[in-house]
Structure 1
Amino acid sequence: MDTQTIVILDFGSQYTQLIARRIRELNVFSAVVPCTAPLSEIQAYKPIGVILSGGPSSVYDIDAPAADPKLLELGVPTLGICYGLQFIVHHLGGKVRSASKREYGHAEVSIEDGSTPLFKELPASLQVWMSHGDEALELPTGFRRTAVTSNALAGIANEERRIWAVQFHPEVHHTPLGPQLLKNFVFGICGAKGDWTPAHFVETTVTAIREKVGTGHVICALSGGVDSSVAAVLVHKAIGKQLTCVFVNNGVLRKNEFQKVQENLRDKLGLNLVAVDASERFLSKLAGVTDPEKKRKIIGNEFIAVFDDEAHRISQETGGVDWLVQGTLYPDVIESSSVKGPSQTIKSHHNVGGLPETMKLKLIEPLRDLFKDEVRRIGRDMGMPEDILGRQPFPGPGLAVRILGEITPDRVALLQEADDIVVAEIKAAGLYTKIWQSFAVLLPVMSVGVMGDQRTYAYTAAIRAVHSEDGMTADWTPLPYEVLKRISSRIVNEVRGINRVVYDITSKPPGTIEWE
């Protein structure tokens, strides 16, 4: 069965991914493509509707995002949002100008033409979120005004051409009735069925993987995190023992994690799992290294070397490996093809994307169309344990980026114990699934303390807890004082070698979530 798709053209808006999420919340698949995509790429989706996103540019800028105006002639229902409205007006013969009074933030929109299906069942006055410096001055032939604010035009329509547009942002939280407007477009105008569910996704993906792989053999690098685990279970559901998963102990995993991951994935879920304890190999390469970027590169390169060794061994045993599973998610796909171009590198990211070309493996990325919360829903639909699906994000380089300074076996052991206490107390307080990440950091700072009338000179641990939607920005979480008190008391009493605990109250930006 073909999946109904709403295509979202990204003109560089910070809200583009939010549009995609709002559509998917209606159980309709949405795909984000750069506005520069050729018309053939848009048509390949066989879209039932197209949405033109907002963007920071003016349609008159020399470097304004260059979309093909012919997309407005496809005859597919089209909704322009903010810059999308101005793009429509400009390219169909109307006029856009710099607004005499710019609108940023909350605004009140009056609907002038309630007969348009876009505003069905909406009140005559809407509270909305505006973010624009330009406005439509003259409308193209055949278009009519459907909504206004006290300052500017806020909505237009041409039912004959099946084009609608609004100057405000229905996708954001600050437009309370925005979801109803999008629902009107997706169901009332585009005729969506709303059948894109986890069960439907699993069924179609399993079938596609089975057909693609045939009798070939597949390997998967498992981290024990949500993404790689769900990807592995999905592929295993399709091809069973033709999949071999490799889990590498890099020496900087959390306490008992090497054993826990094996229990969850091999014993509970029945995956064909090869566990490789390469901790000594990693730690020897990290000895004496203090530069955080070098640590990341060493761990990334060593992981590739270990995985390459295992892949060759598995290939010899199975008669050849053809495919590699990766847990790539949709935000990564969008980021890499964004109209805005790749973001500045803040730090190296560790994944298996850098595997050597000599392996010549074809990729299977079953989650590349999903957001994180959707991945969790898919996992639940397949009956995966909640302690895997509810796991907080954990960095690829593991505790190496939470040990400032040199990494030694003793310092790893210290942080493992402190971090285990943090996680245990956060879970005991019922906060674990409400926080994006919560963990301990071992600082290269030693201070004087007093224990049992004796002077101590030991390390300092920092506690970090943040809330975030996607990891791009984050606010520090104000943990209850009683929880902080228990964490601090347990660490200094139970972890010999740490005598001081501090709490990190820095948001991102200006800080990062991890310390390195």
Structure 2
Amino acid sequence: MNNNHHANSKCIGIVDAGSQYGKLIDRKLRELNIRTVILDFAFDADELTAQNVRGLVISGGPGTVILEDEEFNKLNGDRIIKLGLPVLGICFGMQLLNRLFGGAVERTDLREDGECEIEIDTKCALFNGLSSKQLVLLTHGDTCTKVGEKLKVVGKHGDTISAISHESSSFFGVQFHPETDLTPNGKTMFKNFCNICGVESSYTLNSRLKASIEELRQCIDQQQNNVVCLVSGGVDSAVCAAMLQKAVGKDKIIPVHIDNGFMRLNESKLVEKSLSDIGINLDVYNEARTFSMATTKILQMDDTYRSSLQLNKTVHPEDKRQIIGDCFISVYNRILVDRGLDVETTLLAQGTLRPDLIESGSIYASAKSDRIKTHHNDTDLVRALRARGKVIEPLKDFHKDEVRQIGAELKLSQSILQRHPFPGPGLAIRILCAEAPNMGADFVETQVILNKIVTYNDSKRRPFLLFNKIVEVLTKPELEMLDKITGGPYMYKSTLLPINSVGVQGDARTYSYCAAFSCSSKSIGTASSSPSDQQQLNTTPGSFVKGAANSANSQPGPNWDHLFFLARIIPRCCHNINRVAYVFGGEVSHAVNDITVTYLDAPTVDLLRTADDIAMTTLKMDNCLKSVSQMPVVMIPIHFDRDPVKRVASIKRSIVLRTFKTQDFMTGVPARPGKDIPESVLNKINQNILKLPGISRVLYDLTSKPPATTEWE
């Protein structure tokens, strides 16, 4: 909701440049109980006075400051530094500050996407109390190559400038993202900045909840409005329904659950029971056939519309998401007619969260952010209803962990609050549909680079044409680590898959290749990481594990340290790869140049539903549900191990386990086998899923977010 009820307290202004993580800035500040106000670049200086703004944070964004002087001046950035307030520029914000002071920003071949260790100047006030080495999230294409007048470098990643500060004024710039969980000490940096600004803590979650309840009461006309609340069964929609009931009582609220045919096994029945236990009695609509046959109009780049195919014949992920989102609204409209509700006085309530709006590129989250993926609760039809004032979303200003805290305040059961998130489109966006392999002009070259990476120890002796794609983007310690890994007893095989998955790189959507790695059966379990590996890999203490024994088949597991290191460097070496996975079951012996034609037909959905149930049941039985925030189980149209000489047709599919650990659900990391989740559990899941007919292999997603997203589509 809005921040007006704290308007007199000192606050931090966030100048929105369109970052995917921009709204995490005020989220991190909220954790410090600091009030914020979101500002457009064209903000009025009088607004700063009215809101009692004492410092400014300029967010990252997909834009660039590499512009001709005339175009750069149109950004009007100099007015920010002329205000005399302390300023913290993040990513794009740092580049803007640097150029405002006469520094140079260039687009280079170097691209940084992922967790990196940087060196900082601990004498800088922004880094007060921190050690000289810091793990941070770097994700950018443009780079500051020369600092401006009166600026100095206070952070570096290798030879790349990662942080700057002004010699005499409270102006700071960081190339990394302190607002994300992948920068563990980012909150300390924000606390230091708030201290510099003289802003104190007074903005609590409890006060925001009270304000949200009051705003709901004002929003819903007690005499006229009815509210249809769409409830999926997840924590967001359950908390939304509970907030509505607390605000206006049960009589005005009509809770509805729409089964779209892509739910987990027996999910709808479980949802109905769990919510009835807390006094929310759902009306359940079984609409599986409606969704399967649904079509919609898709807005194109030239602002014209095209008709989509039926959902059960659609392969593109954005089309799938839009069809499903629009079908929800179509069913909602039919419910209004069936119940005789007045469309002008009935409101639609959704458990929309801030990350949903951010990733959908909604103006309600940012006027400038790139659309990563369309959320079912933020399609054009939903936006049209919003514009008419017919949608209420009491959680649109909150994040997942905050929603769970609100749910606890509202006395919801832990069985609801601790449920793993499950997307509205359900299994439909966990099946990568395809009619033909995705093999662009860069496919062969990318496979060559991958091969050279996993044979780097040999390749460095015989440099090749594409060798610089590796050596120019990695730091010296990373190259040393890669040399050690590829020169050791482990033997790795890389396989570029002819499919695309959705990712987020440099604050923009990517739709790129997935790289798969497998280990030779001769190498599995023959080596383990030493303490020096942990130092060289530059990760947090305790994040490495030795290959643990596989209780299911008594064979040691792979060296996960190596695999996670490769997953971290691959997207930086190959910008057209946004996801890296490990293939269970030994070496992938043949290249994959074809796919299994895949649609959202009933047998395919049922197969994934069964695989998903195996995985989730195993996690539950082995008490592993709390060790991961979420575990999408994904089907990809890949049939491994087909000998091209024998011309075996591609008829099978594979399953990917996408474990995910996060607090903010905008960034996160995979669970570490042997640390966060036992290898024996993964092996049990692997073995049981392989018993299903039509399954080729099981994979494990090794990629952080970014450069990958939580879901594959």
Deviations 1:59-101 (A, max 9, x none): 875454814544456565544557656756876xx544569xx
SS of residue in 2 equivalent to 1:261: helix
1:274 Cα deviation (Å)? 2.4
SS of residue in 1 equivalent to 2:53: coil
Structure 1 unaligned blocks of 5 or more = 113-117, 140-144, 449-457
Deviations 1:326-361 (A, max 9, x none): 33322344543588944366x553226443758955
CA distance in 2, matches of 1:434, 1:412: 27
Report the counterpart of residue 197 of structure 1 in structure 2: 204
Report the counterpart of residue 351 of structure 1 in structure 2: 377
Report the counterpart of residue 422 of structure 1 in structure 2: 615
Alignment of 1:283-302 (within 5 A): 283=292, 289-293=312-316, 295-302=320-327
Alignment of 1:21-170 (within 5 A): 21-39=27-45, 45-53=51-59, 57-58=64-65, 61-62=68-69, 63-64=71-72, 66-67=75-76, 69-72=78-81, 78-80=87-89, 84=93, 95-96=102-103, 106-109=118-121, 111=123, 118=125, 122=129, 126-127=132-133, 132-138=144-150, 154-156=164-166, 164-168=170-174
CA distance in 2, matches of 1:95, 1:310: 60
Alpha carbons of structure 1 residues 13 and 6: separation in structure 2 relative to 1, 3 Å: same
TM-score by length of 2: 0.56
CA distance in 2, matches of 1:366, 1:69: 37
Correspondent of 2:254 among 220, 244, 248:
244
Alignment of 1:305-324 (within 5 A): 305-314=330-339, 316=341, 321-324=345-348
Report the counterpart of residue 208 of structure 1 in structure 2: 215
AA matched with 1:137: E
CA distance in 2, matches of 1:489, 1:154: 51
CA distance in 1, matches of 2:695, 2:27: 43
SS of residue in 1 equivalent to 2:262: coil
- Which deviates more, 303-312 or 42-51? 42-51
CA distance in 2, matches of 1:57, 1:511: 22
SS of residue in 2 equivalent to 1:218: strand
The answer to whether 1:483 aligns with 2:681 is yes
Alignment of 1:355-366 (within 5 A): 355=381, 360-366=388-394
CA distance in 1, matches of 2:656, 2:155: 50
1:308 Cα deviation (Å)? 0.6
Correspondent of 1:438 among 626, 631, 641:
631
CA distance in 2, matches of 1:476, 1:69: 44
- Which deviates more, 465-474 or 478-487? 465-474
Deviations 1:298-334 (A, max 9, x none): 4334322211111234453x89634222333223445
CA distance in 2, matches of 1:240, 1:477: 45
Alpha carbons of structure 1 residues 361 and 171: separation in structure 2 relative to 1, 3 Å: closer
Contact 2:98 2:147 in 1 (8 A): no
Correspondent of 1:2 among 1, 6, 14:
6
SS of residue in 2 equivalent to 1:369: coil
Report the counterpart of residue 325 of structure 1 in structure 2: 349
1:206 Cα deviation (Å)? 0.4
Contact 2:236 2:403 in 1 (8 A): yes
CA distance in 2, matches of 1:299, 1:54: 31
1:178 Cα deviation (Å)? 5.3
AA matched with 1:252: F
CA distance in 1, matches of 2:232, 2:52: 36
Structure 2 unaligned blocks of 5 or more = 296-309, 434-597, 642-650
Report the counterpart of residue 465 of structure 1 in structure 2: 658
Alpha carbons of structure 1 residues 363 and 190: separation in structure 2 relative to 1, 3 Å: farther
CA distance in 2, matches of 1:108, 1:6: 24
Report the counterpart of residue 451 of structure 1 in structure 2: none
Deviations 1:211-235 (A, max 9, x none): 2223132222222223222222222
CA distance in 2, matches of 1:327, 1:181: 32
1:34 Cα deviation (Å)? 4.2
1:196 Cα deviation (Å)? 2.6
AA matched with 2:246: K
CA distance in 2, matches of 1:106, 1:202: 38
AA matched with 2:57: I
Alpha carbons of structure 1 residues 232 and 69: separation in structure 2 relative to 1, 3 Å: farther
- Which deviates more, 196-205 or 477-486? 477-486
Report the counterpart of residue 425 of structure 2 in structure 1: 397
The answer to whether 1:185 aligns with 2:212 is no
SS of residue in 2 equivalent to 1:255: coil
Report the counterpart of residue 455 of structure 1 in structure 2: none
Contact 1:315 1:321 in 2 (8 A): no
- Which deviates more, 165-174 or 302-311? 165-174
CA distance in 1, matches of 2:91, 2:636: 47
Alpha carbons of structure 1 residues 362 and 40: separation in structure 2 relative to 1, 3 Å: farther
Correspondent of 1:261 among 268, 271, 274:
271
TM-score by length of 1: 0.75
What is the RMSD of the two structures over their aligned residues, measured on CA atoms?
4.5
1:191 Cα deviation (Å)? 3.0
Q: Which has the higher contact order (CA 8 A, sep 6+)?
A: 2
- Which deviates more, 126-135 or 420-429? 126-135
AA matched with 1:135: V
- Which deviates more, 236-245 or 25-34? 25-34
1:288 Cα deviation (Å)? 9.2
Report the counterpart of residue 452 of structure 1 in structure 2: none
Alpha carbons of structure 1 residues 421 and 295: separation in structure 2 relative to 1, 3 Å: same
1:439 Cα deviation (Å)? 4.3
AA matched with 1:343: D
Contact 1:466 1:475 in 2 (8 A): yes
Contact 2:95 2:105 in 1 (8 A): no
Alpha carbons of structure 1 residues 185 and 285: separation in structure 2 relative to 1, 3 Å: closer
Correspondent of 2:400 among 353, 359, 372:
372
Deviations 1:30-68 (A, max 9, x none): 344443445466666543432234677448754548145
Report the counterpart of residue 454 of structure 1 in structure 2: none
Correspondent of 2:411 among 376, 383, 394:
383
Alpha carbons of structure 1 residues 32 and 464: separation in structure 2 relative to 1, 3 Å: farther
1:164 Cα deviation (Å)? 1.3
Contact 2:234 2:419 in 1 (8 A): yes
CA distance in 2, matches of 1:269, 1:362: 27
SS of residue in 1 equivalent to 2:700: coil
Alpha carbons of structure 1 residues 420 and 78: separation in structure 2 relative to 1, 3 Å: same
CA distance in 1, matches of 2:640, 2:192: 62
- Which deviates more, 23-32 or 293-302? 293-302
Alpha carbons of structure 1 residues 401 and 180: separation in structure 2 relative to 1, 3 Å: closer
Task: Give the number of aligned pairs.
Answer: 481
CA distance in 1, matches of 2:652, 2:185: 52
SS of residue in 2 equivalent to 1:300: helix
CA distance in 2, matches of 1:111, 1:83: 24
Report the counterpart of residue 228 of structure 1 in structure 2: 237
